[in-house]
Amino acid sequence: MKSKYRYLVPNGITFASLTCGIISILLSATDHLEPAGSLILASYILDLFDGAMARKLKAGSEFGLQLDSLVDMVSLGTAPAVLLFMHLQMEGLTAVWTWPFIILIPLAGAFRLARFNLLPPKETGNTDSVGLTISTGGATLALAVLSDLALPTELMPSYSFIILAVFISLLMVSTIAFPSFFWIFSSWKKNMLLIIMFGISLIITPFFTAWFFWTNTYLGLALGRAGYRRLS
């Protein structure tokens, strides 16, 4: 595709992600947390594909890079923070001392995005990211809330969400190398194994809880790999 209109495809996906984020914030503000969290996850999935589509169509641009960062700040930095705040409000955790920890999420996300935009292009074959991406961080927080809402009993105590928010924020500002999801799904054998394992987990737990479990597994494996490399 040689036409300049090819840029409309990835940028259109990015704007769709922004739309999901804005609607998610509005839904959270009106206590519709399940659809709000689902839209954050939709934004997360769209964020995975806009960059891939830009590379496929050779439609990468400085405008697209800046647009993607601004959209991520809204849809995967601010929207998850609002969702988590409203969830804690509904759980009765209304103390003002929780506010700084909620605010920490978009602050850490902004730092992560600013640093990413200043990094040189990745070397060929290197799919790692420096620090946890704001997209995965925001999706993890949304999944925590959706998992708690999906289960008949509490997934974890209310204060644990504050600990999770701090943990995710620290991972975003860290320099730990996190592997790309496209690297994880790089071979059909791994894909089949992961699909089977995810299917089994769906039999045991609700969909969002299973997704939350596997996202935490990804974080644990990345941290374990970083620790092993540090010791080696």
Whether pLDDT at 10 is above 70: yes
Range among 107-111, 124-128, 199-203, 215-219 with highest mean pLDDT value: 107-111
The pLDDT of residue 229 is 87
Whether pLDDT at 87 is above 60: yes
The count of structural domains within the chain is: 1
Q: What is the DSSP track for 44-85?
A: HHHHHHHHHHHHHHT---HHHHHHHHHHHIIIIIIHHHHHHH
DSSP-derived 3-state class of residue 132: coil
In this prediction, residue 114 has a pLDDT band, given cuts at 50, 70 and 90, of very high
The pLDDT of residue 98 is 92
Q: What is the mean pLDDT of the chain?
A: 87
- CATH assignment of the domain containing 169: 1.20.120.1760
Domain range holding 195?
Answer: 4-231
What is the pTM (predicted TM-score) of this model?
0.89
- Residue pair 25/75 in contact (Cβ under 8 Å)? The answer is no
The pLDDT of residue 180 is 80
The pLDDT of residue 186 is 64
The pLDDT tens digits for 11-40 are 889 999 999 999 999 999 999 999 999 999
Range among 108-122, 134-148, 149-163, 168-182 with highest mean pLDDT value: 134-148
